[in-house]
Amino acid sequence: MGVATRLLTSQRPLFEGACDFIVLRGADGDLGVLPSHAPLLTWLKPGEVMLRRGEREEYYFLEDGYLEVLPERVLIMAQRGDRSDAIDLAEAEGQLRSAEEALTRASGSSEQETAELEGAVAVAAARLEAAQLQRRRARD
Amino acid sequence: MATLRDIRRHIRAVRNIEQITRAMQMVAAAKMRRAQARVVAVRPYAHAMDEVARDVAKIGKEYHHPFLTPREEGRGLLILVTSDRGLAGSLNVNTMRAAHSHMLRAFGPGYEVVAIGRKGVEFAERMPVRLVHHRVGLPDRVEMEMLRPAVDRATKAYLDGDVRGIVLAYSRFKNLLTQVPTVQQLVPVPPADADEGPRTEGDYIYEPDGQAVLERFMPTYLLSQVFHAVVEGQASFYGAQMIAMQNASSSAGDVIRELSLTANKVRQAGITRELMEIIGGAEALQAARR
């Protein structure tokens, strides 16, 4: 018997159903959630979420996410996100490149601006990684 | 009495108006359908963020974020979400009336306003309130980040201690015929009811720790709620505008029917008068011949 799980983004809901096991990139590192987990609240690093239902594993890429775990349910909320297999590899590479270029160009600007651009690079890198992982899984 | 030409000119003018209102009705209907799909997609996220905030207000003990701590002193702050344009019936008036009476009851006069939408700006300039920030001209495909400056302004007012409560007012899209003026208390976060939320007594495990998580989560919570309100407001606006334009088109139709009737009467009266004159003339001639 799995735990009732909902994966929602500010654009649209991505998943709703019972999961047997969930793996996410929490603030303190990767974490796994099984049913009847203790209450937990954390933010998520940009990266993949894995939802396992029986034999099936589904992967999603999330940005600006939060996780609330209660014994009876799991809520994953992210500002942006999509299925990992919906990410275009070439597009993700381009996004990372332009984010890095923007950061190089902005050297010497305010601390807050630099932090924002560094954040964008981190997100783009994580997104590209998710696309590469997805490709490897598809090949296996 | 109006001449036939005047009446016909009037009919033409009303028919032009009808064409415009009918076109606006079609445009509003198309945009409303898109906005409605958006509302349905955004609601689960916004409700989940609200749910988690209220859960934390109920069971969180490790770190008392300022958003969770009620205060005695300070003004109220209203985040007022309205449309930029009118021609939508009483939509904005209803929202502003509900918001204003709530603010007066909860905080008294002279509260602060962050206005999103031009109608709200006009309201704040007219009323004895303080407009501290405004944002107009949002696109139909509004993104969360576009609202961050408004939310940051409200957060700052609260953290600086100027205000003791943040309230959000908007028009909720119930269905295409009904828009519900909605007033939602954002800060201090209202705790989940006894029969809602976590059934556990203990606090959460926070990663990395309570302060870090909540200092990050609470602004996002606020942003998500305002974003949701804007999306609801857009769908409401197009719904209300569609109905307003439908009513305008059907009123125009009524006016045209009435004017046509008058025009026909005037025309008929003219024909009758001419006939009378001809008959009268003919009779006079016959009488003269006898």
A32 shares its domain with A63: yes
Indicate whether B121 belongs to any domain.
Answer: yes
B10-56 residue pLDDT tens:
999 999 999 999 999 999 999 999 999 999 999 999 999 999 999 99
A55 shares its domain with A117: no
CA B195 to chain centre: 33
B81-116 residue pLDDT tens:
999 999 888 999 999 999 999 999 999 999 999 999
Is there a contact between B224 and A10 if contact means CB atoms under 8 Å apart?
A: yes
- Extended strands (E) in chain A: 3-9, 13-19, 21-26, 29-33, 40-44, 47-53, 56-70, 73-83
A79 shares its domain with A95: no
Q: Say what the pLDDT of residue A111 is.
A: 83
Q: Say what the pLDDT of residue B61 is.
A: 85
The mean pLDDT value of chain B amounts to 93
A94-135 residue pLDDT tens:
999 999 999 888 877 788 888 888 999 999 999 999 999 999
> By the CB < 8 Å criterion, does B39 face chain A?
no
Indicate whether B219 belongs to any domain.
Answer: yes
A68 shares its domain with A124: no
Helix (H) or strand (E) holding B113: strand B112-116
> By the CB < 8 Å criterion, does A13 face chain B?
yes
Indicate whether B119 belongs to any domain.
Answer: yes
Is there a contact between B45 and A28 if contact means CB atoms under 8 Å apart?
A: no
pLDDT at residue A14 greater than cutoff 80: yes
Indicate whether B19 belongs to any domain.
Answer: no
Complex ipTM: 0.91
**What is the CATH number for B81?**
3.40.1380.10
**Model's pTM, two decimal places?**
0.90
Q: Which pLDDT band, with edges at 50, 70 and 90, does B197 fall under? A: low
Between strands A3-9 and A73-83, the pairing is parallel
A77 shares its domain with A31: yes
Per-residue pLDDT averaged across B238-265, rounded?
Answer: 95
B219, B151 Cβ separation under 8 angstroms? yes
CB-closest option in A10, A27, A43 to B42: A10
A111 shares its domain with A69: no
Residues 97-156 of B with CB under 8 A from A: 144
Using a CB-CB distance cutoff of 8 angstroms, which residues of chain B are in contact with residue A13? 41, 44-45
Which residue range(s) make up the domain with B220? 44-245
Using a CB-CB distance cutoff of 8 angstroms, which residues of chain B are in contact with residue A43? 213, 216-217
Indicate whether B58 belongs to any domain.
Answer: yes
B45, A10 Cβ separation under 8 angstroms? yes
Indicate whether B102 belongs to any domain.
Answer: yes
A80 shares its domain with A112: no
Number of domains in chain A: 2
A71 shares its domain with A124: no
Q: Say what the pLDDT of residue B68 is.
A: 93
Dihedral class, residue B8 (left if φ above 0, else alpha if ψ from -120 to 50, else beta): alpha
Q: Which pLDDT band, with edges at 50, 70 and 90, does B212 fall under? A: very high
Indicate whether B166 belongs to any domain.
Answer: yes
Number of domains in chain B: 1
CA distance B56 to B48: 12
A42-97 residue pLDDT tens:
999 999 999 999 999 999 999 999 999 998 899 999 999 999 999 999 999 999 99
A24 shares its domain with A67: yes
Indicate whether B186 belongs to any domain.
Answer: yes
**What is the CATH number for A18?**
2.60.15.10
Q: How many CA atoms lie within 13 A of B49 on its CB side?
A: 30
Best mutation target, A25, A66, A76, to test chain B (most B CBs within 10 A): A66
Question: How many Å lie between the alpha carbon of B18 and the closest alpha carbon of chain A?
Answer: 37
CA distance B47 to B224: 9
Q: Say what the pLDDT of residue A113 is.
A: 84
Which residue range(s) make up the domain with A119? 88-139
pLDDT at residue B199 greater than cutoff 80: no
